[in-house]
């Protein structure tokens, strides 16, 4: 079982990416930061995003790097503690140079917004009211998917 998650994202301008995510309130681990990469801390001791300059990113794969401004390879979703925190982070992203992705999703018990970072990577911020989740339904849905 994995105990930590590292998401690796290619970026065109590392300094611009660091500035953008710093404005959103993220911190960086200086031990894993140089001119080619930085380690963004999403959740201390468990979730990190490695922002890798494209040239360095290419050393980890023989595949072409997707142009995130034109195609979507993944959507990175972060949870928030409340609807207000969803709005706060999404608004900061837009004010800090991110771009609009799609209209908010409001299903009553679940609320989310999204944005694109300066390199076009898609990010979602979601809040789900834990009291609205029916454990039996989640179990049934998981069984049906298997």
Tell me the pLDDT of the chain (146 aa) as tens digits. 668 899 999 999 999 999 999 999 999 999 999 999 999 999 988 999 999 999 999 999 999 999 999 998 899 999 999 999 999 999 999 999 999 888 999 998 999 999 999 999 999 999 999 888 766 655 555 555 55
What residues have CB less than 8 Å from 120, skipping those under 6 apart? 67, 68, 69, 70
Topology of the domain comprising 66-134? 2,3-Dihydroxybiphenyl 1,2-Dioxygenase; domain 1 (3.10.180)
Report the greatest alpha carbon distance in the chain. Answer: 49
Contact 65, 54 (CB under 8 A): yes
Cα distances from 73 to residues 19, 33, 121, 142, in angstroms, run: 23, 25, 9, 24
User: What is the three-class DSSP state of 101?
Assistant: coil
- Would you say the pTM of this structure is higher than 0.85? no
Instruction: With H, G, I as helix, E, B as strand and everything else as coil, classify residue 61.
Output: coil
Architecture of domain 1-63: Roll (3.10)
Portions of the chain given CATH number 3.10.180.10: 1-63, 66-134
Residue 31 to residue 68: CA distance in whole angstroms:
28
């Amino acid at each position: 079982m994995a105990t930590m998650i590292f998401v690796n994202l290619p970026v065109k301008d590392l300094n611009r990416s660091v500035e953008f995510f710093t404005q959103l309130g993220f911190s960086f681990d200086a031990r894993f930061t140089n001119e080619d990469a930085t380690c963004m801390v999403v959740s201390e001791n468990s979730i990190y995003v490695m922002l890798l300059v494209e040239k360095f990113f290419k050393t980890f794969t023989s595949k072409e790097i997707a142009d995130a401004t034109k195609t979507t390879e993944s959507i990175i979703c972060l949870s928030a503690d409340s609807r207000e925190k969803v709005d706060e982070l999404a608004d900061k992203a837009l004010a800090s140079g991110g771009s609009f992705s799609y209209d908010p999703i409001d299903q009553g018990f679940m609320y989310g917004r999204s944005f694109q970072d300066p390199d076009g990577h898609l990010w979602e911020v979601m809040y789900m009211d834990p009291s609205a989740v029916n454990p039996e339904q989640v179990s049934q849905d998981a069984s049906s998917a298997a």
